[in-house]
């Protein structure tokens, strides 16, 4: 697509035309996005993906169209219980310009070998293939993310790293490569689509769409995801350093005295700081971080309980099971069973 004069959009249509149809049909627009919805997908992720495209159409002509697909062509129930009708089945998609998969809970539960074959076929014919939220798991299992930087929801990162240790994980909310698109889901879809609009039609249109959505675009370097991105500048330096050491050694747990030595604080002083800021001792906080990681691995991957325990530094399975049940109110095997469904 030849980029238009970016000043055209700001000069001609500073506001969307009220008479412009906001939704184009596939084949009637310059671009068509095929969206594959998996059961229990995130409704927010779907809306954030499509709304920038809808608004862009109202600034002059039919730029974007989309079709919703399901594995069998039937309606799909989102994670909030709302049923969304599909326009067709994934196997009938044909040659797609862009195929985006959206999933959330239990991403792989209903995916078949035939579904993965469709993804590979679209990629082989030069189409863009993407996945949001937990859908990068599906793309990776189809062999489509080799030599790619992958962005996905931060809760799924430990399980993804465990299953695909050779694939680079990006801390960004989305990665928009030439033929592969991955993202954390939710509001990150807005920025991903605004980047697409900007790359094809210039920054003026992208900024105008952002204003209509009352959305402030955030530079990726300022928008890293995950709980670790909270305001660490408000914590004492010793606490920040201790947390970083714990985070770096979740798979091979260090003794608390060793962490204190690396931080340069006495155990008594570091305990006072942790209790004051978190209400937990360093040992309790460290144990919770490792258990949280184990739970994410069990929920989002095919790992066995023993593998999840070893991956988070537990060598005594009885201790791991007791600590896990005390924190989450269920046995680790129960979490793993749900992740496999």
The string of pLDDT tens digits covering residues 145-186 is 998 999 988 878 878 888 898 999 888 889 988 789 999 988
The string of pLDDT tens digits covering residues 67-106 is 999 999 999 999 989 999 999 999 987 788 999 999 987 7
pLDDT value of position 222: 44
pLDDT value of position 92: 84
Which residue intervals of the chain are DSSP H helices?
6-12, 43-57, 113-124, 136-141, 157-163, 188-201, 203-212, 237-248, 256-263, 267-278, 282-300, 305-311, 317-328, 332-340
- For residue 168, how many other CB atoms are within 10 A of its CB? 12
User: Residue 39 pLDDT > 80, yes or no?
Assistant: yes
pLDDT value of position 230: 43
Contact residues for 221 (Cβ-Cβ < 8 A; gap 6+): none
pLDDT value of position 37: 96
Of residues 11 and 247, more confidence is placed in: 247
Of residues 218 and 100, more confidence is placed in: 100
pLDDT value of position 27: 78
pLDDT value of position 220: 52
Is 16:58 a contact under the CB 8 Å cutoff? yes
Of residues 27 and 82, more confidence is placed in: 82
Mean pLDDT on 193-199: 91
User: Residue 59 pLDDT > 80, yes or no?
Assistant: no
Is 183:135 a contact under the CB 8 Å cutoff? no
The string of pLDDT tens digits covering residues 227-251 is 444 445 567 888 888 988 898 888 8
Question: Which pLDDT band, with edges at 50, 70 and 90, does 112 fall under?
Answer: very high
Distance of CA 321 to the CA centre of its chain: 29
Q: What is the mean pLDDT of the chain?
A: 84
User: Residue 321 pLDDT > 60, yes or no?
Assistant: yes
d(C-alpha 123, C-alpha 98), whole Å:
9
User: Residue 298 pLDDT > 90, yes or no?
Assistant: no
Cross-strand pairs, 104:
106
Q: Determine the Cα angle at 114 with ends 110 and 117, to 5°.
A: 120
pLDDT value of position 116: 94
pLDDT value of position 243: 87
CB-facing half-sphere around the CA of 207: CA atoms within 13 A = 9
DSSP, residue by residue, 98-120: EEEEEEBTBTTTT--HHHHHHHH
Question: Which pLDDT band, with edges at 50, 70 and 90, does 224 fall under?
Answer: very low
Question: Which pLDDT band, with edges at 50, 70 and 90, does 144 fall under?
Answer: very high
pLDDT value of position 215: 82
Of residues 229 and 302, more confidence is placed in: 302
DSSP, residue by residue, 271-339: HHHHHHHHSS-HHHHHHHHHHHHHHHHHHHS---HHHHHHHTT---HHHHHHHHHHHHSS-HHHHHHHH
């Amino acid at each position: 697509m030849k980029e238009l004069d970016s000043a055209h959009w700001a000069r001609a249509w500073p506001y969307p035309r009220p008479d412009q149809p906001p939704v184009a049909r596939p084949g009637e627009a310059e671009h068509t996005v095929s969206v594959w919805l998996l059961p229990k997908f995130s409704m927010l992720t779907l809306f954030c993906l499509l709304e920038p495209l809808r608004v862009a159409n109202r600034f002059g002509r039919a730029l974007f169209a989309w079709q919703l697909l399901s594995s069998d062509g039937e309606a799909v129930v989102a994670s909030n219980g709302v049923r969304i009708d599909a326009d067709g089945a994934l196997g009938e998609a044909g040659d797609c310009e862009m195929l985006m998969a959206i999933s959330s809970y239990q991403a792989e539960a209903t995916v078949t070998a035939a579904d993965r074959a469709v993804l590979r076929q679209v990629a082989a014919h030069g189409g863009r293939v993407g996945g949001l939220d937990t859908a990068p798991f599906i793309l990776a299992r189809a062999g489509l993310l080799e030599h790619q930087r992958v962005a996905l929801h931060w809760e799924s990162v430990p399980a993804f790293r465990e299953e695909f240790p050779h694939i680079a994980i990006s801390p960004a909310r989305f990665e928009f490569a030439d033929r592969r698109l991955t993202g954390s889901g939710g509001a990150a879809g807005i920025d991903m689509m605004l980047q697409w609009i900007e790359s094809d039609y210039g920054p003026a249109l992208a900024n105008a769409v952002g204003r209509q959505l009352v959305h402030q675009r955030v530079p990726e370097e300022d928008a890293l995801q995950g709980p670790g991105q909270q305001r660490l500048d408000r914590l004492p330096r010793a606490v920040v350093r201790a947390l970083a050491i714990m985070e770096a050694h979740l798979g091979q747990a260090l003794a608390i005295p060793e962490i204190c030595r690396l931080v340069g604080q006495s155990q008594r002083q570091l305990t006072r700081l942790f209790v004051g800021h978190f209400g937990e001792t360093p040992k309790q906080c460290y144990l919770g971080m490792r258990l949280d990681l184990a739970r994410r691995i069990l929920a989002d991957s095919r790992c066995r309980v023993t593998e999840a325990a070893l991956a988070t530094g537990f060598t005594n399975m009885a201790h791991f099971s007791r600590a896990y049940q005390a924190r989450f109110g269920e046995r680790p095997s129960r979490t793993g069973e749900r992740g496999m469904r």
